[in-house]
Amino acid sequence: MLDRLFGIWSKDIGIDLGTANTLVYVRGKGIVINEPSIVAINQKTGKILAIGNEARKMVGRTPGYIMVSRPLVSGVVSDFEVTEQMLKYFIDKVHQESFSIVPRPRVVIGVPSGVTEVEKRAVEDATYNAGAREVYLIEEPMAAAIGARLPVQEAVANVIVDIGGGTTEVAVISMGGVIASRSLRIAGDKLNEDIIRYMREEKNMLIGEASAEHIKITLGSGYELEDELEGRVRGRDLVSGLPKEITVNSEEIRDALSRSVKSIVLAVKSTIEETPPELIADLINRHIFLAGGGALLRGLNQAIAEETKLFVKIVDDPLTAVVRGCGFILESVEQLKGLLVSTDREGFL
């Protein structure tokens, strides 16, 4: 009863709890938070020093006793207590200008389609402990499809590929359910690792994750470009141990990313091959839709199109597709509650 009373002054929110970034949608307002899923902790005292944007500024710049880390790995909770504190920070931030002393919102939160029941419960419990009154889970590919305004409740094939920081989710959706799916732990973070490894093995240079991310954005591609790109990279020479700057081109970076890109493309193809013939026929005149930050990798849509022989389209604002889907659920609960992941708790009342 007390929770419901506090809930009167609380704001219903949708959360895309990503490996790389957390986005928060407030019912009636839209997306209000987009911050890194990063937490800085003083290991001597156990105190959390910073979360989100403030913690990102500390990456690679702290003494040994301050740990800057991500509490989620491959889209699932790896550190329960830190994830709880991060969620509490975002919930409180949403309510800081309201009259709610103890915010108790209803929360719709996205989870990867390949997670176990234990992993789902970890996300659910962390969100309850962070202050939520009610928690409802939705699979990220379903949320991305809803966010892209695909007709997920109609009897037609909707193919969505959500490439986030930790996981790539491929799903064929029809009549409000997932017909075939794949979840692989090859996504944005793995592409960064590929670049770091390539620079170390082929260029004898050590670079950090932030530099690898910058190279991926500026030079990365999944398909041959009409005009190849070139850029300068700074790092540490593994031979001399001194700072070094070299020139690399998009062809070299494409080679570094090729194995992971191929895995993503094959996952899409395999998922489509498992789709019933009646729905396969729908795809002749429909698109495969790409969402998530990985969808912005140059030429990835062309690589998938070449392998599947189907049209491929990047959704509008792919980075926010999942959280927009969570928000759409909040705005239309009665019509869409059947799309949520079933739990043993009561549904929206």
Cβ atoms of 170 and 289 within 8 Å: the answer is no
Is 206 contained in some domain? yes
The pLDDT value given to residue 101 = 63
Is 216 contained in some domain? yes
109 lies in the same domain as 164: no
The pLDDT value given to residue 57 = 87
111 lies in the same domain as 46: yes
Mean pLDDT of successive 10-residue stretches along the chain, which has 349 residues: 53 90 91 92 89 87 88 84 90 75 84 84 91 91 94 93 94 92 93 97 94 96 94 95 95 97 96 90 89 96 95 95 93 78 53
CB atoms within 10 A of CB 225: 16
Nearest 5°: the CA angle 168, 218, 301 is 40
Question: What is the distance between the alpha carbons of residues 59 and 71, in angstroms, rounded to a whole number?
Answer: 14
171 lies in the same domain as 100: no
Q: How many domains does the chain have?
A: 3
CATH of the domain at 84: 3.30.420.40
Is 75 contained in some domain? yes
Is 348 contained in some domain? no
265 lies in the same domain as 246: no
Is 346 contained in some domain? no
Domain boundary, last residue among 256, 273, 288: 256
Based on C-alpha coordinates, what's the Rg of the chain?
21
200 lies in the same domain as 288: no
Six-digit token string for 231? 């850029």
Contacting residues for 144 by C-beta, under 8 A, at least 6 apart = 160, 162, 169, 291, 292, 315, 321, 322, 325
Cβ atoms of 318 and 296 within 8 Å: the answer is yes
69 lies in the same domain as 32: yes
Cβ atoms of 295 and 141 within 8 Å: the answer is no
Question: What is the distance between the alpha carbons of residues 243 and 190, in angstroms, rounded to a whole number?
Answer: 25
Pair type for strands 72-73 and 47-51: unpaired
209 lies in the same domain as 248: yes
Domain of residue 198 covers 188-256
293 lies in the same domain as 155: yes
Question: What is the distance between the alpha carbons of residues 251 and 263, in angstroms, rounded to a whole number?
Answer: 19
Is 344 contained in some domain? no
264 lies in the same domain as 238: no
Contacting residues for 162 by C-beta, under 8 A, at least 6 apart = 140, 141, 144, 168, 169, 170, 171, 291, 292, 321, 322
Six-digit token string for 171? 């799903």
Is 345 contained in some domain? no
96 lies in the same domain as 159: no
Helix axes 250-273, 300-308, angle to 10 degrees: 40
Is 174 contained in some domain? yes
Cα dihedral value 31, 187, 112, 134, nearest 10:
-30
Domain boundary, last residue among 256, 285, 302: 256
CATH of the domain at 249: 3.90.640.10
23 lies in the same domain as 80: yes
286 lies in the same domain as 332: no
